[in-house]
Amino acid sequence: MKFIGDLHIHSHFSLATSKQLTPEYLDMWGKIKGIKVIGTGDFTHPGWIKELKEKIEPAEQGLYKLKKDYIVDSPIPRFNSMEYDTRFLLSAEISSIYKKNGKVRKIHSVVLAQDFETVEKIQQSLINIGGNITSDGRPILGLDAKKLLEMCLEASENIFFIPAHIWTPWFSVLGSKSGFDTIEECFEDLTPHISAIETGLSTNAPMNWMCSFLDDFTLLSNSDAHSPEKLGRNANIFNTDLSYNNICNAIKSGSPDKFLGTIDMYPQEGKYYYDGHRKCGVLLNPMETLHNNGLCPKCNRNVTVGVMNRIVQLSDREDLSNRKNRLPYHSIIPLKEIISEIVDVGPNSKTVTRQYNDIVNSLGTESEILLNLPIEEINNRAGEILAEAIQRMREQKVIISEGFDGQFGTIKVFQNGELKNRKLS
């Protein structure tokens, strides 16, 4: 069966995350968003594991579902139907800060596990090395990422280890500030255990195709959600039977029959896409940064370098079609952002929420609307302006302002003033 999975999120036990990151609300939002398999996040945290054990029960091999008693009524009636039920897959993100080859490295890794037994073994190993796993759902350890991988493999051969958002400047395996220049420098002889990497919110698949040294890895997209509503903003499309092993095998093989590709927000929307200085109001693309010797033309100090620049520096390929295993990728704009642009009020406003609820209730899950529903059907049931917006998004005919130096970029589908004279439906 075809389904969408988002394997890297956080729970309410992670710092600075929503209190609603509970199994109940993840299940509820998974249904609305059309995310079938949801990573639990934070499995290193004993409090979260206690809560999960209470609220979820085994379903297919290595997957869990919310117990009946905990299912909450959806504010959107359509999603109270059983056909939208979700699954949980045990996952965690771990932050490693350590010195290697003379430099401080800060690397985030995502780990998937098939059962609570494995999770508890990993927890115990982390405690044994003196790690603090109770203060943050994403623990920070002074542990070499390679050692972490080794430790997880000792807990179970069937874990799945994924370097997280690999281009983030400060916290990733290839990050410009504290990462490495290759995956091998980090994982050495254990590199064969890495079969996938996470592209992160600031890059999409084609950007990663620029680097031939990533050809051996399946490119994954996950939301890294810090609130349930952000679920699925980046995600993966699978075509397998439901089970932990099938999902991991689909990723490992990267087979275009089993792993149908990724869903990504436009990477330009990420806060570290291009280079520049937010305070100086200076935005530079990698070429301009090169011409300015890496300096801000306004204050003459080093600019904050974004992910595109880092990719260009490590890239060795101009003709992207030379990467053989290219899988489909879908660039999306979250539905609330599209509605927000149309009605010209904030995406978190009551007006947008009301329209959003009406639209998904009438048309189906958010991912179905964004990716698959015939434009004509959207036109007939939600109006021509939304239909046109979604068509433009699917065709990538959008207006982009790139994010830089901590400032989010924006993606719009209509020109300024274009909607002024059109009747809103």
| Residue ranges in contact with Zn ion by CB under 5 A | 108, 164, 277, 280, 296, 298-299
At 237 the three-state DSSP class reads strand
Q: How far is the CB of 212 from Zn ion (least distance, A)?
A: 25
Residue closer to Zn ion, measured from CB, 55 or 108: 108
Classify strands 37-39 and 87-100 as parallel, antiparallel or unpaired: parallel
Sorted by sequence, the CB contacts under 8 Å of residue 321 that are 6+ apart come out as: none
Residue closer to Zn ion, measured from CB, 280 or 400: 280
Residue closer to Zn ion, measured from CB, 34 or 163: 163
Element (H, E) at 93: strand 87-100
| Gap between the Cα atoms of 252 and 416, Å rounded | 44
Q: How far is the CB of 10 from Zn ion (least distance, A)?
A: 9
| Gap between the Cα atoms of 41 and 94, Å rounded | 10
Residue closer to Zn ion, measured from CB, 64 or 161: 161
Residue closer to Zn ion, measured from CB, 8 or 36: 8
Counted residue by residue, the chain has a size of 425
Residue closer to Zn ion, measured from CB, 75 or 281: 281
Residue closer to Zn ion, measured from CB, 63 or 152: 152
State both tokens at 265: 């927000």
The distance in angstroms from the start CA to the end CA of the chain is: 35
Q: How far is the CB of 231 from Zn ion (least distance, A)?
A: 16
| Gap between the Cα atoms of 172 and 345, Å rounded | 35
Look at the block and give the residue holding tokens 């690999």: 166
Look at the block and give the residue holding tokens 């409090």: 47
| Gap between the Cα atoms of 295 and 289, Å rounded | 7
CA dihedral sign of residues 168, 169, 171, 172:
positive
- Number of Cβ atoms within 10 Å of the Cβ of 201: 28
| Gap between the Cα atoms of 26 and 86, Å rounded | 9
Residue closer to Zn ion, measured from CB, 198 or 229: 198
Radius of gyration of the chain (CA): 21
Residue closer to Zn ion, measured from CB, 7 or 296: 296
Beta partners for residue 106, in sequence order: 97
Q: How far is the CB of 282 from Zn ion (least distance, A)?
A: 5
Q: How far is the CB of 335 from Zn ion (least distance, A)?
A: 25
Q: How far is the CB of 155 from Zn ion (least distance, A)?
A: 21
Q: How far is the CB of 42 from Zn ion (least distance, A)?
A: 12
Q: How far is the CB of 108 from Zn ion (least distance, A)?
A: 4
Q: Which of 141, 148, 130, 182 is nearest to 314 (CA)?
A: 182
Look at the block and give the residue holding tokens 């049931």: 381
| Gap between the Cα atoms of 133 and 311, Å rounded | 33
Q: How far is the CB of 244 from Zn ion (least distance, A)?
A: 22
